[in-house]
Chain A
């Protein structure tokens, strides 16, 4: 009985999630048929003219996520090193639990803070006209993924057996040398993986980004490495999908197909980051 029930329910899990992927794929067929690969390369998204191009949104998504990770990763690594190597016993436990608690703050709360606090701060600090920028979204996301990043990186450092530290100290290396030359290389896979998992979360975050990014369509820089778009409004895949166009699009096959296509692209991006991250954990070197 319970065996059969268990099989039933785990099949249900598989069905639900494969249904999501199948749904996104079949519903987005119209856009693949009409646009094909140019869905990715077309610069203009303007549904009133039935022009659907993802380039600007993918650009925004990539920039925002890289910013978030670029800001959060060094701070998170430093914090993880401190918790793991410089704080002992009760202090470590306390910090660790605090971090996990803070990881649970809902994203809509960060969104609210972003709208009312961070936007103004960004505007003044960078003397911009408006605080709705990719940078704002990036910083907000960085704060949001920081607890996850710290917690996972600390796990990775903690996973390095003590004899590694002892062996390098026994050779006369200082604590810092042991951290840099032994601990970090030994925990490398775990650290990269925690970065990728955090990246996956950043790619998929919707609500907080939605509220501060400005949601300006079709913003692309003139040259690829121009930094100017960072301090301007933009659009990510998630902010498009959380917006009013979802309601508008339903019923118009092409528009709805474009929305589902954007969702499919977002899902693939997040899953790639996530699955590589998970595989790295599974294949951590034997110790």
Chain B
């Protein structure tokens, strides 16, 4: 009895503490590591300019952004995929508003020795077979005799969902597989770069930077091969393209609106380009 009363008063104190000492309203952003570099830099500039705190975090990737908006924990979510109906259904009380700030191509990225072994592109069927471990050696798709090591993006990452929708059309249809997982983009890049014969799903812009990893092309049904080059993306030849979005609850107002408008402005769009993504007027 006595204990219960204590627990109750303790909770009360802690709640009051939180309520009465809430910080001056900061701008809180969380979500995809793909969108993060752009937003973090924008936030650095704006928090200087406006003299107010802007927190940026990348916990849980795109799904983390959506669920944090759903729980009213943040003001703006970063997601590197289209917002799905399922996402909306999960938070019926939230009026998600999506603002696209750029476009990114998603590539299948391999360690450079795979390309040196002769594999330059994969078809959707081959990718599916690799993902399901039906193909486990690069020689089965025209490469050298080398085992395939698949680094899967961890659950909740926008990259993974875009990939899964492309291969399986519905996320429900993806079979459970057991691959090693990677979280952020850099982790994916480091691990693929240091693991011979490995492959992962990664934003194409991250692949172009380093030398140890290479983005594969995609073999289309008619036999032609399309690489994730700027030109191919612009002309909508490359199939694996995804929007980079900022999401808010209700139509953005006040500081939320100001922030999003900045990213949409010429200055903000330069940041999108700087990090290797396609700005809105490019696509």
Binding site for B on A (CB under 8 A): 11-12, 15, 19, 44, 46-49, 51, 115-116, 119-120, 123, 129-132, 214-219, 233, 243-248, 250-251
Q: How far in angstroms is the closest Cβ of chain A from B6?
A: 6
B63 at the interface (CB under 8 A from A): yes
B149 within 8 A of partner (CB): yes
Chain B residues with Cβ below 8 Å from A233 are 179-180
Q: How many residues on the B side are at the interface (Cβ–Cβ under 8 A)?
A: 38
Distance in Å from the Cβ of B179 to the closest Cβ of chain A? 6
- A46 near B176 (CB under 8 angstroms)? yes
Q: How far is the CA of A201 from the CA of B6 in the complex (A)?
A: 32
Asked whether, in the complex, the Cβ of B157 is within 8 Å of the Cβ of A244, the reply is yes
In the complex, the answer to whether A130 meets B155 with C-beta atoms within 8 Å is: no
**Cβ–Cβ contact A248 & B67, under 8 A:** yes
Instruction: For A251, give its contact among B10, B64, B71 (CB under 8 Å).
Output: B71
20 sample A-B contacts, Cβ–Cβ < 8 Å, listed by A number: A11-B3, A12-B10, A15-B6, A15-B7, A15-B10, A48-B174, A129-B195, A131-B195, A132-B195, A214-B180, A216-B179, A216-B181, A218-B176, A243-B154, A244-B61, A244-B63, A247-B64, A247-B156, A248-B60, A250-B67
Chain A CB within 8 A of B90 CB: yes
Asked if B49 CB lies within 8 Å of chain A CBs, one says no
Of B3, B6, B71, B156, the residue contacting A248 (CB under 8 A) is B156
Q: Which residues of A contact B154 (CB under 8 A)?
A: 215, 243-244
Contact mask for chain B residues 126-143; partner A; CB cutoff 8 A; 1 contact, 0 none = 000000000000000000
Q: Looking at the complex, which one of A120, A216, A248 makes contact with B155 (CB distance below 8 Å)?
A: A248
B251 within 8 A of A: no
Q: Is the interface of B mostly helix, strand, loop or mixed?
A: mixed
Across the interface, which residues of A come within 8 angstroms of B196, CB to CB?
Answer: 129
Whole-angstrom distance between the Cβ of A80 and the nearest chain B Cβ: 36
Contacts of B172 in A (CB 8 A): 48
Q: Which of A48, A130, A215, A247 is the one whose CB lies under 8 Å from B149? A: A130
Verify B174–A251 contact, CB threshold 8 A.
no
Pair count A-B, CB < 8 A: 95
Chain B residues within 8 Å of A116, by CB? 190
Q: List A contacts of B194 (CB < 8 A).
A: 119-120, 123, 131
**Nearest opposing residue in chain B for A251, CB measure:** B67
B12 proximal to A (CB < 8 A): no
Contact B180–A132 (Cβ < 8 Å): yes
A47, A132, A219 pick with most chain B CB within 10 angstroms = A132
A247 and B59 within 8 A (CB): yes
Bound-state CA distance A251–B183 (Å) is 22
Is there contact, CB below 8 Å, between A215 and B60? no
The answer, yes or no, to whether B169 is at the interface (CB within 8 Å) is: no
Which chain B residue lies CB-closest to A247? Answer: B60
Known A129-B196, A129-B198: A244·B180 in contact at CB below 8 Å: no
Residues of B within 8 A of A251 (CB): 67, 70-71, 90
Identify the interface centre among B63, B64, B90, B178: most chain A CB within 10 Å of its CB.
B178
Q: Which residues 152-169 in B have Cβ within 8 Å of A in the complex?
A: 154-157
Which partner residue on chain A sits nearest B30 by CB separation? A247
Query: In chain B, residues 174-197, which have Cβ atoms closer than 8 Å to a Cβ of chain A?
Result: 174, 176, 178-183, 187, 190-191, 194-197
